[in-house]
């Protein structure tokens, strides 16, 4: 049995892994899908101080308090920033890292550094509430931004998406255990359409090691293609 920790991206919550979580659990694995501070069912806890480090501590804390070991740590989109930091903080608890159409940051980088044009495009449509700058504001058409076109999935998402503090995307990653972190096996499950935008050296290395899967679907591939995502994660668990 493997232990998966599935970390969501911007504006989402643990809810977005509902389909994938069920498939992994059906295969006999233990699955955690935490919601990061200030989002989804934790939106009422949002403050102006929530940033990338808050979310790193959310995940590192889960690993500690649940006493999880040999974890397959998965992060989607902005979640790639979070899992990189969490694995750095709790490297002894991590078995493998999986980037799910996610940011692949280096030390000192922010999400703006990694995915500038896309994430910057959301800022003009944001708003400031109680001193907190928010982006990815919920709207009926928001699922299209994430590549979700099925009407039922889009309606389900629209009821659950929440605004995200901009500070999280501007904060820079502070790694403290890089040698141990980068020694961990890394895997990449990406959307076919994003391959051309990724670091060619990273893609070539992952492909050569058999650690790259590409799925021809929208960015929220855990919603649009849950079976394909679960199948890839099960392959990773079997390595």
Catalytic residue annotation: 77
Distances (CA, A) of 23 to 29, 140, 154, 229, 232: 9, 28, 21, 10, 12
- Residue keyed to tokens 């255990």: 177
DSSP labels, 111-158: HHHHHHHHHHTTGGG-EEETTEEEES---TTHHHHTT---HHHHHHHH
User: Are 125 and 11 contacting, i.e. CB atoms less than 8 angstroms apart?
Assistant: no
The backbone torsions φ and ψ at residue 59, rounded to the nearest 5 degrees and listed phi first, read -75, -45
Largest CA distance in the chain: 49
Query: How far is it, in rounded angstroms, from Cα 135 to Cα 186?
Result: 30
Q: In what order do the strands lie in the sheet with 3-7?
A: 30-32, 3-7, 71-76, 94-100, 186-191, 212-215
Residue with tokens 């591939």: 221
N- to C-terminal Cα distance for the chain?
Answer: 12
For residue 100, count other CB atoms closer than 10 A to its CB. 31
DSSP element (H, E) containing 182: helix 178-183
């Amino acid at each position: 049995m493997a232990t998966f920790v599935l970390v969501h991206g911007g504006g989402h919550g643990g809810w977005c892994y509902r389909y994938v979580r069920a498939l992994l659990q059906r295969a006999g694995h233990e699955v955690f899908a935490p919601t990061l501070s200030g989002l989804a069912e934790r939106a009422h806890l949002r403050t102006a101080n929530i940033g990338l480090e808050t979310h790193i501590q959310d995940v590192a804390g889960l690993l500690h308090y649940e006493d999880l070991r040999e974890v397959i740590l998965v992060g989607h989109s902005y979640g790639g920033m979070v899992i990189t930091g969490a694995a750095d903080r709790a490297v002894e608890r991590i078995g493998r890292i999986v980037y799910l159409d996610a940011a692949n940051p280096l030390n000192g980088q922010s999400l703006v550094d990694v995915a500038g044009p896309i994430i910057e495009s959301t800022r003009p449509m944001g708003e400031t509430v109680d001193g907190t700058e928010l982006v990815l504001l919920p709207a009926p058409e928001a699922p299209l931004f994430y590549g979700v076109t099925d009407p039922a999935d889009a309606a389900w998402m629209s009821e659950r998406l929440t605004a995200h503090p901009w500070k999280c995307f501007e904060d820079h990653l502070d790694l403290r255990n890089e040698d141990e972190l980068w020694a961990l096996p890394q895997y990449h499950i990406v959307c076919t359409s994003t391959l051309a935008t990724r670091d060619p050296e990273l893609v070539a290395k992952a492909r050569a090691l058999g650690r790259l899967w590409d799925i021809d679907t929208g960015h929220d591939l855990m919603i649009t293609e849950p079976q394909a995502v679960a199948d890839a994660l099960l392959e990773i668990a079997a390595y």
